[in-house]
Structure 1
Amino acid sequence: MKLKSLFVVAFVVLAPATAAKAFPIVRIDAGQLIGRTLDGVDSFKGVPYAGSAAGPMRWRPPQAVRPWRLPRDAGEVGAMCVQPYSPGDPGVGPLPMSEDCLNLNVWTPSERTEPLPVMVWIHGGGYNNGSGTARLYDGANLSRRGVVLVTLNYRLGRLGFFDHPALAAERPEGEPAGNYGLMDMIAALEWVRDNIAAFGGDPEQVTIFGESAGGVAVTQLMVSPRARGLFSKAIVESGMGRQRGVTLAEAEGETLRSTRARGVAWAQDAGVAQTAAALRAAPAAKLLTPAPSIYGGDLVINDGIIVGHDVVTAFEAGEQAPVPLVIGTNSAEFWWIKPGDDTPYGRFDDDMTPEQIDALAQGFGGREGYDAHVISDVIFNEPARHLARMHAKAGLPTFLYRFDVVSEGSTEPHEGATHASERPYVFDNLYSVRWDYERDQRVAKLMAGYWTEFAKFGDPNGEGRLRWPDLRGEVDQLLEFTSDGPVIRAVPNPERLDLVERLYQKAVREGAVAPPAGEVGTPPQRP
């Protein structure tokens, strides 16, 4: 235990009355936690929701936390999960990375008289990088709106999504495999169910929300048998949605899409013996390259336990969780990726002839429009519209949005809101990106208000805000966030999205992964 933590524990134990205001204490299943109070919000950071996933626990389902006897200091964030790189965050400084990273953070109003709705954030990063500890995801401002906010870490890359015949040989019958990052998210939601009442949260009112890969995770949790009943609402921000994943038979086979075959190939290339003991003893650094990524479309195993069917199939069959849904995209998502770029989605038209590409480009108003918009439409815009339509068709509350805000402080060389740029507004944390302009502040207050209202009531509409249409009654109508305020409009560019939808339907008929993507690839980065 760090010297600072020892001091905090001693102070709380020896002077409980004095410490109570600045160092709130809660008791959870594993023991007592000592938090911090700042400006009306209590925070508890670095709280373990599962045991260490290092050493012999590598590539095993998350294990129970060992209880602690003395009060545990929860004043600082825990380690990030091991990843190939970290963009860095000046708000928290360089954080240690470890396989002992299954921890979460909680913010809750200091004064509360009744159980509050809970919001659980799942970070993005292509299932390959990222953390719930970034300053951008500080939950204090959302918590001040009357919610309990939780952020979490989960295993990433090959440590979170991997299988190998040697691991399968020792696996108990019925134990899920491969989807360890998703198992971590489910373990965190089970922790919330069992412990969040100690922080003033209502375990029956839990909203999961995430962006990019975190949005994908939300949709996968919506079709997860194991996650059913652990949340009551869902928000998907730029969550793609058309990743097929691999079936259990494909995962266990010997094709290029086989999870186990790729595990064997990686071990061979890395010079690691093909035994479970050697795999678990391999240095974590060896597991980081080449980096697997969600953008390849074959990272997650649809095993019927952690993930049922692929997301689209489940939504089309009405088998998703019957919960209210907010879903949307940004106006210039992957603007920096063009067809033909050396990225998984940049290569989606590799198998098309120049004549076919020219014909397709006509639907985008010519080659210039095709180059500018097809990648974003294929990955984000059409899948979001499709999932929203299917959810509304199932008779479930569905709210579609489009984010089109570009801060005066943005240095992006393009028009429109790029991928992930909505996050500072959702968390009302504009200070984290230094976008402290009056128009930005208005948008942030508006979005945070809609998001927390949805968490409270399953409907984002509230007094003083433009009414957001429910797709059950107003087909293909969305709320668009702009710098000048929100507007209601029809889904833009429907002809383009119809064209992309037909591409997907054709690929499914032909048995392809629609549209095709690479086997592996790091998350596409902005230049």
Structure 2
Amino acid sequence: MQRWLKGLLTLGLLATPLWAWAQAASSDPAVTRVDIDTGALQGRSALDVTAFKGIPYAAAPTGDNRWRPPQPVSPWQGVRQATRFGPDCMQRPDPSDAAPLGVTPSEDCLYLNVWAPADAIPDPRVDRAPTDHPVLVWIHGGGYVNGGTSTPVYDGSAFARDGVILVSLNYRLGRFGFFAHPALSHEQPSNQVQQRAPLGNYAIMDQLAALNWVQRNIGAFGGDAANVTLMGESAGGASVLDLTGSPAARGLFQRAVVMSGGGRALMGPMPALSADQGDLPSAESIGEAFAHQQGIEGQGADALAALRHLPAEQVVNGLNMQSLMTPQEGPSTWTGGPIRDGNLVSGEPEGIYQAGLAQHVPMMIGTTDADLGFSSADSMDTLLAPFGEDADRARALYDAEGSGDVQRVGRAIGMDRMMTEPARFIADHLAASGEPVWRYRFSHVALEARDQWPGAVHASELPYLFRTLESRYDRLDDSDRAMAWQLHRYVVNFARDGNPNGGGAPTWPLHTPLSNLMMDFTQKAGPVARQDPGQAQLDLIEQHLTPVLDH
């Protein structure tokens, strides 16, 4: 048995949940009612965790609120039951999703959830000092078209048992979350247009509204509003990067965890809001193409009213993770995600980090070793042509065994272009600014998937992060449980004080552009600090493909 695993077994950490080693909670019944700025909430307590689910942080974005910034919640009378998830945001669910939804999606979806240690919530029956637990805010992934907070994989109980308050939030998806149309721009009063009022990025506005809700209300749950870590994976990780670059998010969080979040314009340039902001198809023209597809013409109030009256199912038609991977005929009717609006989102993270305009916060950032990667090349020569004179070197690095497997090599190059090199790029620039950065690669594959997957696929680390392995797998071994404890522990440490190290886990060294050190969460040896094994490939990607794609 591997030494790292044997050590954990000796400590008993595989058989006993981490929270069981904490100090026993008070024998008094847990407080399950809190008062926030819109009214009283009744949660539910079990196993030293009190959970509040389905908390509205903004009014329903339906009717006239469709394609408007999130509106305030109307206060309620009495005590609102917060024991069930609110609907996840409207979407066409993806049957292959690694984190399937737990509730039916709806356009009325701007809800969040809070898991807190049972002894964290202030007790009016006891005269004691307020608690100040660290707060972790989770933004789910799903390509901006799928996902939600109701999936059992994202249960925040393990974090709460380890003293961290976990907040998860829904945000508008697909065309509900990212949409522009001249009629929407014309709706803004002229004085607001001059002030560049936010338009188009309604999902980002939702995330900001939830973060502001945390600032106003997390103290009622025993949380410290000045100790907030923002964490997301895939589209959630990309959202974290966008928020680090948005002036509207400054001061709303103190550190960040970016998991498979990209960071460069490698899936296509971000569209500008309107045609006068760039030479590519604008978000407004994409919105007009969608309206035309629905039989709606014009740029006035009648067109906007017709768009707002479309059934929700029609607005998300043709959008989920599977359909996005299928070539579409005709003009695009989907922006692909965030819109360069010159306000909330001024551009791709790479440009913002290069210019030194991003919020400088400590960061954990990384990918999985078999992460997302796409290629449409039908031959090795076509695939390697962008490397120019270094095509043979690229062939040697990505196809050392000479298999000539275009699909496999294409996926590997696509992964490095889309995920791995951008993560290193962001880490390099943040480290150069003086902020501490810890970079990782997750390579562990669950027992049940070891004969099916080529490595740790996209999002496969999430059940380990949340310690919810049983919600995803029927068969586990001790190495799975040990890995869940390790990855989870690093994030708990980071959320507490901005450093993942401590608690007996192997030391995770800081990333610097010169050292190129990372933590590799390996299959056989557990977490291992090492130089990036793919450094040569990433150097080649940065040298050749990045300049081409950036321009």
Please state which band the TM-score falls in when normalised by the shorter chain. Answer: 0.7 to 0.9
Query: 1:197 is paired with a residue of what secondary structure?
Result: helix
Instruction: Figure out how many residues of one structure are paired with residues of the other and give that number.
Output: 485
What whole-Å deviation, never above 9, does each CA across 1:443-491 have from its counterpart, x for those lacking one? 1111111001000110000031111111249721001112331111101
Where does residue 85 of structure 1 map in the other structure?
93
Where does residue 151 of structure 1 map in the other structure?
168
Query: 2:159 is paired with a residue of what secondary structure?
Result: helix
Task: Give, in whole Å, the separation in 2 of the partners of 1:89 and 1:258.
Answer: 30
Q: 1:46 aligns with which of 40, 54, 71?
A: 54
CA contact (8 A) 1:158 1:292 kept: no
- TM-score normalised by the chain length of structure 2: 0.82
1:241–1:251 CA distance, 2 compared to 1 (3 A): farther
Query: Which sections of structure 2, spanning at least 5 residues, go unmatched?
Result: 1-27, 121-129, 326-333
- TM-score normalised by the chain length of structure 1: 0.85
Task: Give, in whole Å, the separation in 1 of the partners of 2:236 and 2:98.
Answer: 22
Task: Give, in whole Å, the separation in 2 of the partners of 1:51 and 1:268.
Answer: 29
What whole-Å deviation, never above 9, does each CA across 1:292-348 have from its counterpart, x for those lacking one? 88999853223232123320011112221111000001011136x45438xxxx9x9
Task: Give, in whole Å, the separation in 2 of the partners of 1:317 and 1:491.
Answer: 26
* Equivalent AA in structure 1 for residue 206 of structure 2: D
Residue 270 (structure 1) shift: 2.1
Greater mean alpha carbon deviation, residues 404-413 or residues 476-485: 404-413
CA contact (8 A) 1:395 1:472 kept: no
CA contact (8 A) 1:166 1:276 kept: yes
* Equivalent AA in structure 2 for residue 207 of structure 1: T
CA contact (8 A) 1:136 1:427 kept: yes
Task: Give, in whole Å, the separation in 1 of the partners of 2:233 and 2:31.
Answer: 32
Where does residue 220 of structure 1 map in the other structure?
242
Residue 273 (structure 1) shift: 4.1
In the alignment, structure 1 residue 282 sits paired with structure 2 residue 310: yes
Where does residue 189 of structure 1 map in the other structure?
211
In the alignment, structure 1 residue 304 sits paired with structure 2 residue 338: no
Task: Give, in whole Å, the separation in 1 of the partners of 2:411 and 2:394.
Answer: 13
Where does residue 530 of structure 2 map in the other structure?
489
Task: Give, in whole Å, the separation in 1 of the partners of 2:135 and 2:308.
Answer: 36
Query: 1:382 is paired with a residue of what secondary structure?
Result: helix
Q: 2:200 aligns with which of 159, 163, 178?
A: 178
1:370–1:250 CA distance, 2 compared to 1 (3 A): farther
In the alignment, structure 1 residue 446 sits paired with structure 2 residue 486: yes
What whole-Å deviation, never above 9, does each CA across 1:2-35 have from its counterpart, x for those lacking one? xxxxxxxxxxxxxxxxxx9367100000000000
Task: Give, in whole Å, the separation in 2 of the partners of 1:505 and 1:488.
Answer: 27
Task: Give, in whole Å, the separation in 2 of the partners of 1:93 and 1:328.
Answer: 25
Where does residue 319 of structure 2 map in the other structure?
291
Query: 1:302 is paired with a residue of what secondary structure?
Result: coil
Where does residue 124 of structure 2 map in the other structure?
none
Where does residue 296 of structure 2 map in the other structure?
272
How large is the RMSD of aligned CA atoms in angstroms?
Answer: 2.9
* Equivalent AA in structure 2 for residue 109 of structure 1: P
Q: 1:263 aligns with which of 284, 287, 297?
A: 287
* Equivalent AA in structure 1 for residue 296 of structure 2: V
CA contact (8 A) 2:54 2:84 kept: yes
* Equivalent AA in structure 2 for residue 494 of structure 1: Q
Query: 1:118 is paired with a residue of what secondary structure?
Result: strand
Task: Give, in whole Å, the separation in 2 of the partners of 1:101 and 1:188.
Answer: 12
Query: 2:496 is paired with a residue of what secondary structure?
Result: helix
Task: Give, in whole Å, the separation in 2 of the partners of 1:417 and 1:78.
Answer: 31
CA contact (8 A) 2:274 2:284 kept: no
Where does residue 223 of structure 2 map in the other structure?
201
Greater mean alpha carbon deviation, residues 63-72 or residues 434-443: 434-443
Where does residue 541 of structure 2 map in the other structure?
500
In the alignment, structure 1 residue 340 sits paired with structure 2 residue 381: no
Task: Give, in whole Å, the separation in 2 of the partners of 1:456 and 1:264.
Answer: 47
Task: Give, in whole Å, the separation in 2 of the partners of 1:501 and 1:448.
Answer: 31
Greater mean alpha carbon deviation, residues 215-224 or residues 464-473: 464-473
1:253–1:266 CA distance, 2 compared to 1 (3 A): farther
1:23–1:76 CA distance, 2 compared to 1 (3 A): farther
**Residue correspondence of structure 1 range 390-405 to structure 2 within 5 A:** 390-405=429-444
1:331–1:287 CA distance, 2 compared to 1 (3 A): same
Where does residue 320 of structure 1 map in the other structure?
358
**Residue correspondence of structure 1 range 119-158 to structure 2 within 5 A:** 119-158=136-175
Query: 1:81 is paired with a residue of what secondary structure?
Result: coil
Residue 245 (structure 1) shift: 4.9
* Equivalent AA in structure 1 for residue 309 of structure 2: A
Residue 96 (structure 1) shift: 2.4
Query: 1:328 is paired with a residue of what secondary structure?
Result: strand
* Equivalent AA in structure 2 for residue 364 of structure 1: Y
Where does residue 232 of structure 1 map in the other structure?
254
Task: Give, in whole Å, the separation in 2 of the partners of 1:34 and 1:298.
Answer: 38
Task: Give, in whole Å, the separation in 1 of the partners of 2:280 and 2:174.
Answer: 18
Where does residue 5 of structure 1 map in the other structure?
none
1:465–1:23 CA distance, 2 compared to 1 (3 A): closer
* Equivalent AA in structure 1 for residue 282 of structure 2: S
* Equivalent AA in structure 1 for residue 540 of structure 2: L
Task: Give, in whole Å, the separation in 1 of the partners of 2:182 and 2:385.
Answer: 32
Task: Give, in whole Å, the separation in 2 of the partners of 1:132 and 1:93.
Answer: 8
What whole-Å deviation, never above 9, does each CA across 1:341-400 have from its counterpart, x for those lacking one? 8xxxx9x96996999977753442354463351111111111111111111001001000
What whole-Å deviation, never above 9, does each CA across 1:18-65 have from its counterpart, x for those lacking one? xx9367100000000000001000000000000010111000000111
1:362–1:50 CA distance, 2 compared to 1 (3 A): same
CA contact (8 A) 1:82 1:156 kept: yes
Residue 195 (structure 1) shift: 0.3
